C-alpha cells in the first residue's frame, strides 16, 4: 500500500500537469510492480484515473484551461465507444492487450513529437506578438471549420481506445484535441480532465458484471496519492510553454511504450 501511494503521487503530478498519463502509467505499475492481472489492473486504473482527474479539474478550470462545452460533448460521445471497447477487451488475451497498447503509444508519441516541433517554431516566430494573442481564441478559430462530424468521430475513436485498454483516456484525448481539434496544449490538457472523468465512468460501466477482482486497499492508497499529486501538478502547466508540455507528453508516451513492449516480449518468452 505504501508503494502504491508513493507511485500514485508521482502519477498524479503528471496527470495534473499534462491532463493525461494516469492510465498509461498506472496500468503497467499495477501489472508489473503490484502484480495484478492485466484485466483487473485496467479496471482499477479507471477508478484511480477518474478520481484523480476529478481532483485536478477545479484548479485547471479556474485557470481557464477547460473548454466545458466541447469537452462535455466529446466526453458524452466517447462513452458510446468506451462501452463497445470495454466489451471487446474481454475477448483479447492479456499479452495481446498490452502489446497493442505499447504499439499505439509509440505511434501517438511520434506524432506528438512532430507537433511539439511545429508548435515551438510557431512560438519562436510569433514571440513578439504573444503578449497580444489569446491562444484559446486562436485555437478555437483554427478548429471552427471542423464541424460536429470531426468532433463526433474523434470522440468515438477515443472512447473505443479508452474502453478497450482500460485507461482514463488522456493518452488519446490530448492528442485528439491537439492534432485533430487544434486545441492549444494547455487547453487540451485541462479539457482532457473533464473527458477522462466521463470516459472512466463509462469504461467501468462496461465492465459491470464481468469477472474482475478489485484490490481495494491497493486502489485506495494509489488513488489518495494520485489525487494529492494531481492537485499539486496543476500549477506546473501554467509555467510551461505549450511546445514544452507537448514534448514532455510525447516522451512520456514513447517511454511507456518501450517499457511495456519490452516487458511484454520478455513475459511472452
Can you give the pLDDT at residue 131?
Answer: 43
Q: Flag whether pLDDT at 36 surpasses 70.
A: yes
DSSP letter at 232?
H
Can you give the pLDDT at residue 141?
Answer: 44
Give whichever of 60-69, 160-169, 226-235 has the largest mean pLDDT: 60-69
Q: What distances in angstroms separate CA 79 from CA 62, 69, 209, one per listed residue?
A: 26, 16, 18
Q: What distances in angstroms separate CA 231 from CA 57, 60, 220, one per listed residue?
A: 8, 9, 17
Query: What average pLDDT does the segment 170-176 reach?
Result: 77
Give whichever of 35-44, 194-203, 216-225 has the largest mean pLDDT: 216-225
Q: pTM of the full predicted structure?
A: 0.72
Query: What average pLDDT does the segment 204-211 reach?
Result: 73
State the Cα–Cα distance between residues 192 and 237, nearest whole angstrom. Answer: 13
State the Cα–Cα distance between residues 245 and 265, nearest whole angstrom. Answer: 30
Query: What average pLDDT does the segment 21-35 reach?
Result: 78
Mean pLDDT of the chain: 78
Tell which wins on pLDDT, 7 or 68. 68
At 32, the pLDDT band (50, 70, 90 cuts) reads confident
Can you give the pLDDT at residue 68?
Answer: 92
Model confidence over 58-113: pLDDT tens digits?
A: 988 988 889 998 889 998 888 887 778 877 877 888 778 888 888 888 888 888 88
Residue 120: all three cell numbers together: 515551438
Can you give the pLDDT at residue 129?
Answer: 47
DSSP letter at 211?
S
State the Cα–Cα distance between residues 11 and 223, nearest whole angstrom. Answer: 10
Q: What distances in angstroms separate CA 93 from CA 42, 147, 163, 222, 268, one per listed residue?
A: 13, 38, 15, 26, 12
Can you give the pLDDT at residue 259?
Answer: 85
State the Cα–Cα distance between residues 231 and 233, nearest whole angstrom. Answer: 6
Q: List CB contacts of 239: < 8 A, sequence separation 6 or more.
A: none
Amino acid at each position: 500500500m505504501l508503494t502504491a501511494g508513493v507511485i500514485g503521487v508521482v502519477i498524479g503530478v503528471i496527470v495534473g500537469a499534462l491532463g493525461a498519463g494516469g492510465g498509461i502509467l498506472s496500468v503497467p505499475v499495477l501489472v508489473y510492480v503490484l502484480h495484478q492481472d492485466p484485466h483487473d489492473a485496467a479496471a482499477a486504473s479507471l477508478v484511480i484515473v477518474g478520481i484523480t482527474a476529478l481532483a485536478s479539474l477545479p484548479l485547471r478550470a479556474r485557470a481557464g484551461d477547460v473548454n466545458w462545452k466541447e469537452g462535455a460533448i466529446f466526453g458524452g460521445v466517447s462513452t458510446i465507444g468506451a462501452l463497445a471497447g470495454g466489451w471487446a477487451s474481454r475477448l483479447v488475451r492479456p499479452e495481446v492487450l498490452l502489446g497493442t497498447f505499447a504499439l499505439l503509444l509509440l505511434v501517438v508519441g511520434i506524432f506528438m513529437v512532430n507537433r511539439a516541433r511545429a508548435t515551438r517554431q510557431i512560438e519562436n516566430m510569433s514571440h513578439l506578438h504573444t503578449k497580444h494573442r489569446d491562444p484559446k481564441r486562436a485555437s478555437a478559430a483554427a478548429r471552427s471549420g471542423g464541424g460536429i462530424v470531426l468532433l463526433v468521430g474523434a470522440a468515438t475513436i477515443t472512447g473505443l481506445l479508452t474502453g478497450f485498454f482500460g485507461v482514463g483516456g488522456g493518452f488519446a484525448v490530448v492528442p485528439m484535441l491537439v492534432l485533430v481539434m487544434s486545441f492549444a496544449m494547455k487547453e487540451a490538457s485541462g479539457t482532457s480532465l473533464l473527458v477522462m472523468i466521463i470516459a472512466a465512468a463509462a469504461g467501468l460501466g462496461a465492465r459491470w458484471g464481468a469477472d474482475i477482482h478489485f484490490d481495494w486497499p491497493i486502489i485506495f492508497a494509489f488513488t489518495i496519492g494520485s489525487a494529492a499529486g494531481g492537485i499539486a501538478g496543476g500549477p506546473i502547466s501554467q509555467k510551461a510553454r505549450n511546445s514544452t508540455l507537448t514534448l514532455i507528453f510525447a516522451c512520456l508516451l514513447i517511454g511507456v511504450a518501450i517499457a511495456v513492449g519490452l516487458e511484454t516480449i520478455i513475459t511472452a518468452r
